[in-house]
Each structure stands twice: as structure tokens, then as C-alpha cells.
Structure 1
Amino acid sequence: MEERAHQIRPRGEGETPKIRREGQEMRIPLALERRPDDLIIANAISAAVIVAVFTLEDSPVRWILGLVFVLILPGYVTTAALFPSRERIDWIERGALSLGLSVAIVPLVGLMLNYSSAGIKLSSIAFSMGAYIALLSVIAYYRRMQLPEEERMRLEIYIDLDLRKYPIIDRVLIVTIVVVLIATVSLLVYAISSPGGGERFTQLALLNGDMTASDYPTGNNGTVIVCIGCNEGEDTDYTLVIALVAEESQNYTSLRYSESLEGYNAMEIGEGLAVNVTVVDGDWVNSSFSYEFDDAGVFKLRFLLYKQVEIDGAEPYREVYLWLTN
């Protein structure tokens, strides 16, 4: 009788839960009620993301950790702080709340950063969310420890590998879900790691001298900022042609090359000014361009961007223009 009582006594404070295997059944108890493994893992992932921001570029590891960091961890630690008890909500509800709260919290943090001196940058977002996760983890652990041990949240992972005990329909569903899950994760990893993925494009824009998209010059002299953004998956060589053409012709008839756009450029009707520009992928090149001309009439100042150095007979890849009157 004493031996039986010894076998069923509750775990002591110093004992560690052990994985129990019965046939093809496996139970993995996590002692969250005594040791905050979940909060430790959350902060470890948070720290790994902050390190990855500064050490890894376009790595699948960085993307996967980043998704967990943004879409799960903020909501999870918030839910753990709000509901430290196992009785209020179950783990399905915790998962749903973690996702929903994360979607709400991250934009709010971004909004606060937008009005701060730090601004919205990858590094500021990473540090801010990391600090939020750490602070809420401390609060969650404190509130959890204030409850009696039997009321604290806990998690036990139950795995049953013996599918023969299930009906045929359940077996088919289980296998299908596993296959779909593996395929989804595989496709996600491939999409993230595959070079050249995503849309490739180039942006061409004009700003006024104050770097705003308004109050452009309309007379026979002025200054604009020509902005070229490269998202082609690689560093790209462009040729930018700026031509002053008559309203009725639209085309330039001659072309001269220049090393840069600096200084005032005296424009002749029908003449194009060409300059070669190399833009690093993911970056912008902003060049100030000042013009003047003496001819009277209505003219179109065309900014033609070619995605190559040799432009004879080629169609422009991007174009913007200004209407000018003298």
C-alpha cells in the first residue's frame, strides 16, 4: 500500500516532466506552470531576429523567424499576460488571440515610431518589438507565478502514431493535413529562398526642388529632381534621356551625351540630353536637373528611361514629362 501511494504522489517542485511513451502514443509535458519555457523561447526568437536583421540578408532563416516575430510573438506574450490561468481560455483560443493581437499591436508600434525621432526603420521596429516582447514576458511570468500551481497555464503535447484505431475517413484526413502542411512549408521556404522571386520593376519619378511631388516648374527655366528606383533583382545600368520637344512633334531628333546632370542645361528644341546611370538593386538615385530655353511656345520636357546603355531604336522603359510654356 505504501508503494502504491508512492507511485501516484504528485510531482515535487524540483522534478522535471518527462516524455512518456505508451506503445505508439507519446506525451510531452511542458512544465509551464513552474518554468516559463514558452516565454524563454519567445525571447530567444526575438533576440535571434534582432541579430539576423544586422547579420543576414535575404536569408530564409531571417524571413521565417521574422514571420513568427511579427505575426505570433507580440500577441502570444500579450495573451500570456492577460490570461495566466489554464481555466480561462484553451490553447486553440490562445493561438487565435496571439495572431489577432499581433496584427493589431505591430501597426500601433509602427504608428508610434512614425511620430518619434527613431522613425520607421527595420532596426527600430526590431528593437521596439523586442523590447515589447521582453516587457510583456516579465509581466506574464509575474502574473503566472501569483496563481496556485494547479491553476497556472500548462501544455502537454499528445502524439498518437497508431492510425489504425481511427476510422478510415479520419486517417485520410490526418494524412492529407500532414501532406498539405509539409507542402505549404516547403513552398514557403522555396519562395523565400528562390533567387529572382517577386515582381521586378523600375520606378521613375519627378520631384520639385523641395523634394515634394507638387508645384513643378512650368516656365522656360526651373529645377526638378529625377528619381530612379531599381527593383530588378540586380544592379542595373540605365540611360536617361531628357528631351525638349515641340507640342506637335513629341520626338527628339538629335542626342548628346553628358557625364552628369549638374549645372544649368541649355535645352534646344528637338535635342535630347543623355546620361548613363547605374542603380543598385533596392536603392534609389536622385539627381538634380536644371534647364533653360529661349524658344517661345508650348513644349514637352520628356524624361525617358532606357534599361540599357545602347538605346538606338529602343523603346523607353519608363517615361515622365512636364508641360512647359514660354
Structure 2
Amino acid sequence: MAGTPAWKLLLPRQLRRLPADLAAVVGVVALTNLAVLLPVVSDTPVRIVAGLVFVLFVPGYAFIAALFPEDGSDPDDDEAVTNPQAEGIDGIDGIERVALSFGLSIALVPLVGLVLNFTPWGIRLLPILVSLSGLTLVLTGVAAVRRWALPADERFRVPYRAWLSAGREELFSPASRTDAALNVLLVVSILLAAGSVAYAVTVPKEGERFSEFYLLTEGEDGDLVADGYPTEFQRGESRSLIVGIGNQEHERTEYTVVTELQRVERVGNETRVQERSELRRFQPTLEHNETWHRQHEVTPGMTGERLRLQYLLYRGSPPETVNQSTAYREVHLWVNVTE
């Protein structure tokens, strides 16, 4: 076919006939799926940029394109005189189309998530990606069929060639020096704004540094829960606890967990340790955003009421004096140990 690029001939006939805006919708869907699913690309800012455009605009645009396949431009006065029916065109103009696309996308995406919540797949990345992509492609197909059914002069089309021509003329052939200076200022502002957004995406602000430290137990169904802690022991009897650490330090961190059973007394507002017995030490090393769980069989060697089973967390090696004041994090249980 004369005038058709060679690469377009490789595409199916339906894709070659797609209007430019609907072809762009299909391209964004494909790019988003690649950015999310490809191992190398999924860790780059391309995934964030493509995902934002896809979620916030594309499904709504496809829906609006299916609803309004006709051109919504205002008819010329001469046409309105000779053809009174032209005044009743049902289409919408470009600004309305863009505004409704954002609004409908914001409405459609939560609706898809709500439907997925009642399915076996649930609200997870892959089901959401597949559902939104499928919905968008179906709407794009409906929009293309409805446009093809209209006469060529009534179909909606994005006048991107006219925009490019007008922009090229405005930038490179300004009417005055003032227009030229304003054009340069506009281009610099756009570049600065794009650079700021790119920097914010590629170099996100580092959040607060902290480590999670907690105790869990294993429920009857095998799940780990923060409930049902053992408080009654017999000396020499083992009871199980799960020690947990979550690294949110934004760097690889070495930890030391020291477990002690202590006999304490209250003196005013102060808790004094009368006797202590170290039970176990753990020394895990975690990457950022990594979670560590370890089962600890607690076997007390001393007896008494209101003994404190204390877990102390240190970053790195603990100091010579191991107590609550020198620890980075601390959790404890009050237990009774009998003979």
C-alpha cells in the first residue's frame, strides 16, 4: 500500500485501521503490562510513570471513546444555516473528553477492585492488571467499531497534525521578539517541571528509619498471631514463642536478640532486677524491608511469680551491660514458673 510504512504492514488489518488515539491507548496498555511484568523494567521509574497514566486516564478515555464516537466540534455558522440538524450534535469537545476520562478512570479502577474482592483471585497486582487491561481493550474495540460505523467526516479524531504544525510555527516562527522570549520561557518551564517530576520518581524521599520487634504465637490454624501468650510455666518445661524483626532501616543491618528471665521488684516507680538468667541469643542479618521470624523454645530455670521474660534487641553487637536502658527495642511477658 503506497504511503504506508513497512512496519505497519506487519500489523493485523484491524490495528492498521485504528484511529491514532485508540492505537495510543493500546500502546499504553502494552507498555504498562511490559513495565510491570518484565523483571528488569519493573524496578525502574518506567513502571511508575506508565502505571500512573494507565490507572488515572486510559480506562476512562476508552470508555468515553466508546460512548461518544462522533466529533463534538461546534459546527460552522454556514453549516448550521444550511443543515439545522448539525446544531444537535451529540458529541463532546476535547476538553470535556479529557476531563471525563480522568473522572471515569478514578471511578472504574475502584469498581474493578471491588468486583475482584469477591472473586477467588482477590485484590492483587496481577488480577488488577489483567482486569483493567482487558476492560480497556474491550472498550477500545467497541469505540473503534462505533467510529467505523459513522461517516468519515463525523468521526472523532485527535487533530495532532494540526497541533504539531501550530506548535512548530509558534516556536520557530514567532510573530515578535516578545513571543520568542515567551516561547523560550515556556520550554524551559516544561523542562524544569519534567525534570522535577523525574527526580521525585527516581530518587524518592527516604522514610523514617526504624526496626520492628515483636513476639507472636502460633494459632490453632497455624497462623502467627499476637495473642495467646503462655504465662504459666513449670521449671524445665518448654513453651514456644515466635520472635520477629522487621528491618526498615533502609540498609543491611545486623541484629542481636538477648533473651533473659528476670526476678524483679518494684521500688517506687523503678523496676529493679534481683536475679537474671540468660536463656538464648539470636544474631540475624537482614536486608532492608526483610522480615525475620524464629521459634524460641522457652525453658525457664528459676521459679517464682511475676517473673519477667524479656527480649532485648540491639543493632550490631550488644554492650557489656545488657539491660533495658542499653537496648534499641524491648518486649517482655510476665510469667509464673512453678516446680
> What is the deviation of 1:59?
0.8
Equivalent AA in structure 2 for residue 102 of structure 1: S
CA distances 1:267-308 after superposition (whole Å, capped 9, x unpaired): x84536320112233332222334243532224433333232
Matches within 5 A, 1:163-174: 164-165=174-175
Bigger CA drift: 274-283 or 311-320? 311-320
Q: Which residue in the other structure is 1:282 paired with?
A: 289
Q: Determine whether 1:322 maps to 2:333.
A: yes
Closer/same/farther in 2, CA of residues 89 and 184 from structure 1, 3 Å limit: same
Rounded to whole Å, the distance in 2 between the matches of 1:130 and 1:230 is 35
Q: Which residue in the other structure is 1:50 paired with?
A: 33
Rounded to whole Å, the distance in 1 between the matches of 2:305 and 2:67 is 70
**DSSP-derived class of the 1:155 partner:** coil
Closer/same/farther in 2, CA of residues 186 and 149 from structure 1, 3 Å limit: same
Q: Which residue in the other structure is 2:309 paired with?
A: 301
Equivalent AA in structure 2 for residue 161 of structure 1: L
Rounded to whole Å, the distance in 1 between the matches of 2:116 and 2:249 is 30
Can you give the 5+ residue segments of structure 1 that lack an aligned partner in the other structure? 1-13, 17-31, 254-267
Closer/same/farther in 2, CA of residues 133 and 236 from structure 1, 3 Å limit: farther
> Any conservation in 1 of the 2:69–2:155 contact (CA below 8 Å)?
yes
**DSSP-derived class of the 1:227 partner:** strand
Identity %: 36
CA distances 1:179-232 after superposition (whole Å, capped 9, x unpaired): 443223212222333388444443333333123544331513554433322333
> Any conservation in 1 of the 2:216–2:242 contact (CA below 8 Å)?
yes
**DSSP-derived class of the 2:304 partner:** coil
Q: Determine whether 1:139 maps to 2:139.
A: no
Q: Which residue in the other structure is 1:206 paired with?
A: 215
Q: Which residue in the other structure is 1:236 paired with?
A: 253
Q: Which residue in the other structure is 1:10 paired with?
A: none
> What is the deviation of 1:162?
5.7
Compare CA radii of gyration and give the structure with the larger one.
2
Greater RCO, CA 8 A, separation 6+: 1
**DSSP-derived class of the 2:227 partner:** coil
Greater fraction helix:
2
> What is the deviation of 1:239?
1.9
Pick aligned residue for 2:57 from 72, 89, 93? 72
Matches within 5 A, 1:219-298: 219-221=231-233, 222-245=239-262, 246=264, 248=266, 269-271=276-278, 273-293=280-300, 295-298=303-306
Equivalent AA in structure 1 for residue 98 of structure 2: G
Closer/same/farther in 2, CA of residues 299 and 116 from structure 1, 3 Å limit: farther
Rounded to whole Å, the distance in 2 between the matches of 1:202 and 1:178 is 45
Pick aligned residue for 1:192 from 182, 186, 201? 201
> What is the deviation of 1:68?
1.6
Rounded to whole Å, the distance in 1 between the matches of 2:176 and 2:137 is 43
**DSSP-derived class of the 1:233 partner:** coil
Rounded to whole Å, the distance in 2 between the matches of 1:137 and 1:148 is 19
Q: Determine whether 1:183 maps to 2:203.
A: no
> What is the deviation of 1:175?
5.6
Closer/same/farther in 2, CA of residues 322 and 36 from structure 1, 3 Å limit: farther
Matches within 5 A, 1:90-105: 90-105=93-108
> Any conservation in 1 of the 2:247–2:291 contact (CA below 8 Å)?
yes
Rounded to whole Å, the distance in 1 between the matches of 2:144 and 2:125 is 28
Q: Which residue in the other structure is 1:26 paired with?
A: none
Closer/same/farther in 2, CA of residues 272 and 43 from structure 1, 3 Å limit: farther
Pick aligned residue for 2:67 from 61, 82, 89? 82
Equivalent AA in structure 1 for residue 171 of structure 2: L
Closer/same/farther in 2, CA of residues 103 and 166 from structure 1, 3 Å limit: farther
Q: Which residue in the other structure is 1:29 paired with?
A: none
Closer/same/farther in 2, CA of residues 166 and 81 from structure 1, 3 Å limit: farther
> Any conservation in 1 of the 2:257–2:283 contact (CA below 8 Å)?
yes
**DSSP-derived class of the 1:55 partner:** coil
Rounded to whole Å, the distance in 2 between the matches of 1:298 and 1:152 is 81
Closer/same/farther in 2, CA of residues 164 and 78 from structure 1, 3 Å limit: same
Q: Determine whether 1:150 maps to 2:153.
A: yes
